[in-house]
Amino acid sequence: MLRLNSRDPGFSKAFRRLVADRRESSENVARDVAVILSDVRNRGDAALAELTARFDGHALASEDDWRITPQACREAFEDLQPDLRAALELAAQRIRAYHEAQLPADRDETDASGVRLGARWRAVDAAGLYVPGGRAAYPSSLLMNAIPAKVAGVERLVVVTPTPKGQVNPLVLAAAHLAGVDEVWRVGGAQAVAVLAYGTQRIAPVDVITGPGNAWVAEAKRQLYGVVGIDMVAGPSEILVIADGRNDPDWTAADLLSQAEHDPAAQSILITDDALFADTVADRIGVELAMLPTARVASESWNNHGTIIEVASLDEAPALANALAAEHVQLAVEDPEPLLGAIRHAGSIFLGRMTPEAIGDYVAGPNHVLPTGRRARFSSGLSVLDFMKRTSFIQLDEAALKLLGPAAIALAEAEGLPAHARSIETRLGI
């Protein structure tokens, strides 16, 4: 675990090194993924079957080996314990309500020059969702990806999820039923991203791919951007907790480990103005890890990437937070509003001592698919807009063309594009 103090002479250099730290895929991953994508594109289902047998230990032979039926998803939902089914329904309800409020409005207006201008929003025809499988199966992620797509109006919603040695997570199937998923295919890894982009004899391609995955999945999405749309290139999870000494150190320790348990490369950072509190949190993390079933992963994350930064005043925190541009930022202070107003770069911000990041992962409503790796400087969390596109339209009558045409002709001639100019001149009789 790294310990920094903003009063130390070498702090600026050490903090810049922390900001520049990259915890994402290597050149070897990029090269391996390129080979997989090419193989699926060229050999289709045969390549997909071979790769699934090799990486997941699952044979794609019969139709049941390839696809999970809507009936199986419905049965998984009906078989849930009542309290778990109710929790899943509450999460779905809140996610749907939040994202319905994001739907953009069409525009259609005529300006002072008599030109009709506007735009129409339409959903993509088909979207593909990657859902991790096996032990790392998260029904919450399926809801967070599928519900915005359905709210946007996507007609065909396809899930790909690995089933290692045939293992299926019933919670994921239940979430697929609740969200209205149309197809569920038992494939994973970079090869699953490839099939969503290129299609095969058996599986039709989609227009947009979203959803979390490992380094190979993230790299596959990066390489296929342009063939399809993607939500983002997501890296390991991150949390930044800004806290004063009046917090419960056990709460803060648990908050930091909530992201550390995701991935050995996840990063948890605490900024505080209280040295004793910092010491106590560091101690309590050791205690929490001793009781945590996910301690092996969480310990590796905390030991290699965990950081505690002591500052003279929390007034220093926003500048540090903006440089880090973290996926999750918790403002564990009495009055979070001043810090909220000063933080420009964050995937999602959690206000006050009673708002742990984990509540946002499940039932708060806003999407938990968020930019990592400092990408919050220029990108946002998943929304309905990731499943939609905007088409503008323009209409001029003769009077409007006479008004605007001469300027367009002048610009076309200045750019050396005479056919552009001529298409306007012929209508104006020039």
User: Do 56 and 163 form a contact (C-beta atoms < 8 A)?
Assistant: yes
CATH superfamily of 27-109+123-230: Nitrogenase molybdenum iron protein domain (3.40.50.1980)
Question: Which residue is catalytic, options 219, 310, 327, 357?
Answer: 327
Give the phi and the psi of residue 330 in degrees, each rounded to 5.
Answer: -105, 130
List, in order, residues 6 or more apart from 76 with CB less than 8 Å away.
170, 171, 173, 174, 177
User: Using CA atoms, how far apart are residues 138 and 254, in angstroms rounded to an integer?
Assistant: 20
Distances (CA, A) of 362 to 59, 170, 414: 33, 17, 56
Q: What percent of the chain has pLDDT over 90?
A: 93
User: Using CA atoms, how far apart are residues 85 and 394, in angstroms rounded to an integer?
Assistant: 49
User: Using CA atoms, how far apart are residues 355 and 371, in angstroms rounded to an integer?
Assistant: 20
Least confident of 19-23, 268-272, 277-281: 19-23
User: Using CA atoms, how far apart are residues 204 and 182, in angstroms rounded to an integer?
Assistant: 12
> For 65-123, what is each residue's pLDDT tens digit?
999 999 999 999 999 999 999 999 999 999 999 999 999 999 999 999 999 999 999 99
**CATH 3.30.565.10 holds for 2-22+235-364:** no
What token pair was written down for 429? 């009789």
Element (H, E) at 173: helix 170-179
Same fold, 2-22+235-364 and 27-109+123-230: yes
The reply to whether 357 belongs to the active site is: no
> For 364-382, what is each residue's pLDDT tens digit?
999 999 999 999 999 999 9
Question: Which of the 8 DSSP states describes residue 225?
Answer: B
Q: Is the pLDDT of residue 354 over 80?
A: yes
Left (φ > 0), alpha (ψ -120 to 50) or beta: where does 179 sit?
Answer: alpha
The reply to whether 345 belongs to the active site is: no
User: Using CA atoms, how far apart are residues 287 and 184, in angstroms rounded to an integer?
Assistant: 41
Q: Is the pLDDT of residue 25 over 70?
A: no
* pLDDT confidence of residue 139: 93
Axis crossing angle, helix 139-152 with helix 82-100, rounded to the nearest 10: 40
List, in order, residues 6 or more apart from 160 with CB less than 8 Å away.
128, 129, 130, 131, 184, 185, 187, 188, 192, 193, 195, 196
At position 170, the amino acid (one-letter code) is: P
User: Using CA atoms, how far apart are residues 321 and 348, in angstroms rounded to an integer?
Assistant: 12
> Across all residues in the chain, what is the average pLDDT?
96
What token pair was written down for 385? 């807009």
Q: What percent of the chain has pLDDT over 70?
A: 99
User: Using CA atoms, how far apart are residues 357 and 238, in angstroms rounded to an integer?
Assistant: 11
* pLDDT confidence of residue 234: 86
Provide the strand spans (E) within 104-260: 107-110, 116-123, 126-130, 156-160, 183-185, 208-210, 229-230, 238-243
* pLDDT confidence of residue 23: 77
* pLDDT confidence of residue 134: 61
What token pair was written down for 336? 């979070």
User: Using CA atoms, how far apart are residues 368 and 360, in angstroms rounded to an integer?
Assistant: 6
Question: Which residue is catalytic, options 99, 177, 262, 328?
Answer: 328
Domain boundaries, the chain: 2-22+235-364, 27-109+123-230, 396-428
Q: What is the mean pLDDT of residues 30-56?
A: 96
User: Using CA atoms, how far apart are residues 370 and 377, in angstroms rounded to an integer?
Assistant: 12
pTM of the model: 0.93
Reported as a pLDDT band with limits 50, 70 and 90, residue 136 is low
Residue 215 class from Cβ within 10 Å (0-12 exposed, 13-18 middle, 19+ buried)?
A: buried
* pLDDT confidence of residue 309: 98
